[in-house]
Structure 1
């Protein structure tokens, strides 16, 4: 079992990574709680909820299952969780446990942040992608006009990461999580990037995966501890997300996974970085790896003007001018404002290239 610690403005919290942790949750609870509400989704509940409930058999435990998928990050689910918390009699000494991927962590975390003005919550990620979203304290739900526009900063009390749960993930969820790992490597660790780019996503071992996930978490923690509320360098963590979030919103949440959209966004950021900084980035190498591992590399039937309008709703946009996270070089991120005219040209060229080479 691996352990690291993350320092937030309000408190520090531990991250535990290892196998079979779901069978001994009591060992990792940061304190005694009056009651526990486990929030999970339909897919995860069938596989892992009984294990977690059994490990908490001596506690006062309730559970609630939400639909699987990005569409569950809605105001309706958020309100439903508050209703359940009230019905179950949760109080300020209770805790919510988010058992699942990024969607469960985001909506459960936002419910915990706002129930009785904020109670503890614990992240129990069950996806590779959630290694990124489970640390850093950003919790949110989606609005039909944009992703993660309604939310808060609410750091978890602990992160308990049982990597054994990752081996039941479908291929598209593995692809999704690895895109965020690649993002972290491109921001801060070139050696990690070269290690990841050699991986065959159909043959991942728990031990190798644990080490890479821990490194990804440490990279994010190092950034978040300096800039918890995204006023400066934390924005670098949005590499690939300006286009990625726009595609998710336009194509409908769940059309492709978050990480698959971010992968396209990173390729686009590479292209814009080359134009902005003459950056020599491993574009062809990344494209080749993405294709080998089944990432969808196309943007069908969306006008660049529509993409531009959606990108303007991104949280990093300032005074209607789009800011993108680019790379001056490997591990040298930079935030740049880009005019509408330039961005439209870049989008046209990028879509044309994808249609010619990767459709």
Structure 2
């Protein structure tokens, strides 16, 4: 086993274990007194959940695999209610635990199920995608979607630990892996420019798990998020910077009925936020160009349909960063210098979108 740890501080501290052969650490992360473990996993990938189950059973735990739909279809009220019923049937008590295994949608659901069952039971997350490792599983945000928007129902529920088994990335489809790179690149723009240097050094290598910088990219992106959420778990201020590019991205996902890859939407959203920053006189054109160049170098989109603006503008009205009727954006004042832009003028919003429409 080769691994490293990123510590997430705060009121409920935990470790993110990153490496190969790390599943042996899973029982230890659950803590004392656990007898029954509900393993929530993607129903289409039972083979991913199998080694998790075996690691838990080897420690003498009673394990109940609970399959859920793949992707965003898992993050529905009906699926969550089904998990509650299953928790009752298998006897998950307050001293027991939930383990979420899969991509970001699965770990979001598993985390919220743990947060809401008996007013909160322990959860350990085992993300199996790049997006899950660097974003969804770290930070304690859990939730589901409703028709009006993504992640509007949820809770802050820090896990007892996160295991990033890097070998699971090897079987990811290339497009899905590249989608996850958007969140890695985002971490570079808001906090750690070395990430951008590593991607620019070898764009093709960055596009797969076998690349020379994979482990460092994952560790750096996780550390950016860990540092932010340790200082601001409940998104009262600093944590908003992690939503760079997400205001437009969530509107795109909603317009596409969540069939558009999250990372692809975030890529477009980052270019939009950069253009908004430039038009507001806060970001030089060269850094906007760098957004387009680094994202395009790994095959991520940098534009979206011109005719979509009315629907996207309406979709942005329901955004978690909004305060009352005031729309707020995370923008950049320079490389690794995030800021906020509140209540931008409508003509500014439209002008920025024209720069990313194609």
Both proteins in one fold, TM over 0.5: yes
Aligned partner (choices 80, 83, 86) of residue 84 of structure 1: 86
Q: Which residue of 1 aligns with 2:124?
A: 122
1:315 pairs, out of 320, 336, 341, with 320
User: Structure 2 length as normaliser, TM-score?
Assistant: 0.92
Corresponding residue for residue 30 of structure 1: 31
How far the C-alpha of 1:278 sits from its partner, in A, is 4.3
Indicate yes or no: 2:149 matched with 1:137: no
Find the counterpart in structure 2 of residue 54 from structure 1: 54
2:128–2:169 contact (8 Å) kept in structure 1: yes
Distance in 1 (CA, whole Å) between partners of 2:129 and 2:209 is 13
Residue 190 of structure 2 corresponds to residue 187 of structure 1 = yes
TM-score normalised by L of structure 1: 0.92
Which piece of structure 1 moves more, 209-218 or 148-157? 209-218
Shift of 1:344: 4.1
Instruction: Map 1:246-325 onto structure 2 (within 5 A).
Output: 246-253=251-258, 255-280=259-284, 281-300=286-305, 302-325=307-330
**Residues 51-60 or 341-350, more deviating:** 341-350
Structure 1 window deviating more from structure 2 (53-62 vs 162-171): it is 53-62
1:23/1:54 contact within 8 Å kept:
no
Residues 18 and 163 of structure 1 are in contact (CA less than 8 Å); yes or no, is this contact kept in structure 2? yes
Contact 1:39 1:104 in 2 (8 A): yes
Q: Which residue of 2 aligns with 1:39?
A: 40
Deviations 1:293-344 (A, max 9, x none): 3324442374322211110100111222210000010000001113352344
Once the two structures are TM-superposed, the CA of residue 111 in structure 1 deviates from its matched residue by 0.6
Mapped contact 1:30–1:158 kept (Cα < 8 A)? no
Query: Runs ≥4 in structure 1, deviation > 6 angstroms?
Result: none
- Partners in 1 of 2:78 and 2:307 — Cα distance? 28
Instruction: Provide the C-alpha distance between the structure 2 equivalents of 1:348 and 1:192, rounded to a whole number of angstroms.
Output: 27
Q: Is 1:196 matched up with 2:199?
A: yes
Give the superposition deviation at 1:289: 3.6
Range 98-107 or range 30-39, more displaced: 30-39
- The count of aligned residue pairs is 350
Q: Does 1:349 align with 2:354?
A: yes
Judged with a 3 Å threshold, the aligned counterparts in structure 2 of structure 1 residues 63 and 50 are, in CA distance, closer, same or farther, namely: same
Deviation at 1:27?
4.6
Q: Which runs of 5+ in 2 are unaligned?
A: none
Q: Distance in 2 between matches of 1:277 and 1:301?
A: 24
Residues 177-204 of structure 1, C-alpha deviations (whole Å, 9 max, x = no match): 1111111111111122221233324444
- Give the 3-state SS of the residue equivalent to 2:73 in structure 1: helix
Q: Measure how far apart 1:16 and its partner are.
A: 0.8
More off after superposition, 110-119 vs 216-225: 216-225
Structure 1 unaligned residues grouped into runs of 5+: none
What secondary structure sits across from 2:38 in the alignment? strand
Residues 7 and 16 of structure 2 are in contact (CA less than 8 Å); yes or no, is this contact kept in structure 1?
yes
